[in-house]
Amino acid sequence: MARRGNRNWKLERASVHRKGASRPRSNKYSGSDSKSRPPVGSRSRIWVGGYTRSDGTTVAGHYRATRRTV
């Protein structure tokens, strides 16, 4: 089971949009990153940052499977 504590590193890496902000909290692949973007198809799961739906429902951050391309 995943730990819910100390998720600062996830928030730091996730591209999370905030209401009223003109840009996201961070960009995962900004110019300051030392590593290049991972090749297509190399990851089996990705992190989805928490967000609030238009109906007001809050969705916590979670991992999801990547889309499979044929």
Taking phi first (over 0 means left), then psi (-120 to 50 degrees means alpha), and beta for anything else, what does residue 20 get? left
Domain limits for position 53: 8-15+43-70
Structural contact between residues 13 and 29, judged by C-beta atoms closer than 8 angstroms: no
Total domains, the chain: 1
65 domain residue, yes or no:
yes
**Helix runs in the chain, H state only:** 8-13
pTM, full prediction: 0.41
pLDDT tens-digit readout, 4-38:
556 555 555 555 566 766 655 555 555 555 667 77
3 domain residue, yes or no:
no
60 domain residue, yes or no:
yes
68 domain residue, yes or no:
yes
